[in-house]
Amino acid sequence: MEESIQTLCGWIDRHLDQPLTLDLLASRCGYSPYHFSVLFHQRCGISVKSYVTHRRMQQAARHLMESDQRILDIAMEAGYSSQAAFSRAFWRWSGMTPGEYRRHGGAPETTLEYRQMHSRLRQSYPVRTLHVVSGECMREEFVGQGMHHDQSVVVAMNEAMCWGETDPRIFSDAFVAVRARQLRSTEEEYRRKVIASLKPLLREEFAILVLWFGEDLFCQMNLLTLLGWLDQQHCTADLLLCTALERQKKSVAEWTGIDESGYAQAYCQLLCEHRMPQGTLPRAMEQAARLQLSYRKPDSPLMRFLREHQHDPQVIPQALSRFVQLGLGDLQIQWLLEEIRQETGLESLCLSDSGR
């Protein structure tokens, strides 16, 4: 039954604009409507009707925010025969009417502890799920709170894709060779730290993938790389993004569905060709893309700050706290300082030679 539920939930999400009767859904799993209702509620903790309504409301909320569709058209796509019926259902779901939700830019943003958000996801998606988190520290946090088990697999993206060159074929042997050099590591060490950590993602199939990443440059470039790989692999899983607030060990209290198509091209254009991707990117990723193309330029705020304070013993912690939107680690700041000091030394040597 678990496999049937897992498959059905994905099918429901792809057919939210169609009539989803109990008889139809039960027949897809090979059960009578009564037996199916009992089993679904036992497994998911909610009724079939509540699950379908919740998923339709989530989709409608995205359309309200991301399109200029008429509310009536959104209501029809959500399976409602009138705007009034849809508005009542949407108010019960969000506490706001569809018009208010659109005018206010969505529901007021609240945050949840990682474990609370994880529990919400389990209630909405009662299937085996892969959670890809931003780095080993977050993975250890999830594991320590009991969020890693047979039905909830947690892996870490231990990369720094905002640093250095890369290869168009994500996670290929050529990619590993390039990235190991850029991160001053060996291929063997890179495979152990990065590739082995992602083994369930690379080797297994999941109906739901949840990506937990922040909105800073560091996280967004890692997220872009993952989405690019999923696009290259023609992923069929449902993708959800949870915006992580790592310093607070919390998440924004609503997830976002993602379509990975187009991200392979965006990855190549930005990280391989070093130019702004064509097409539309999510707001946070577009801002991060602009930072990616500028933060290492000599006249960037970060590079000016490092040149001016390169001899200050506290320059690394100061840079980390001053440029939080970059999300860089102390290692990347150290490497930038080494480059600056090397350039400064060469300049001094040139001036000395010219004065002889």
CA distances from 240 to 49, 254, 319 (A): 22, 10, 32
**pLDDT > 70 fraction of the chain, expressed in percent and rounded:** 92
Q: Report whether pLDDT(125) > 90.
A: no
- CA–CA distance, 226 with 130 (Å, rounded to integer): 13
Q: What is the pLDDT of residue 43?
A: 67
- The pair of structure tokens assigned to 344 is 């400064």
Q: How far is residue 172's CA from residue 273's CA, in Å, rounded to a whole number?
A: 18
Question: Please, what is the average pLDDT of the chain?
Answer: 88
The CA distance from 345 to 356, in Å, is 17
**44, 1 Cβ separation under 8 angstroms:** no
At which residue do the structure tokens 């930038």 appear? 336
- Complete DSSP assignment for 287-332: HHHHHHHHTTSTTSHHHHHHHHTTT-TTHHHHHHHHTTTT---HHH
Q: What's the pLDDT tens digit per position in 288-346?
A: 999 999 999 999 999 999 999 999 999 999 999 889 889 999 999 999 999 998 887 65
Q: Is the model's pLDDT at 348 over the cut of 50?
A: no
**Residue 7 or 62, more confident:** 62
User: What's the first-to-final CA gap in the chain, in angstroms?
Assistant: 84
Q: How far apart are CA 121 and CA 129, in angstroms?
A: 9
Q: Where are the domains positioned within the chain?
A: 2-103, 111-291, 295-354
Look at residue 95 in the predicted model and tell me its pLDDT: 66
pLDDT of residue 45: 55
In the block, residue with structure tokens 């400064």: 344
Level-2 CATH architecture, domain 2-103: Orthogonal Bundle (1.10)
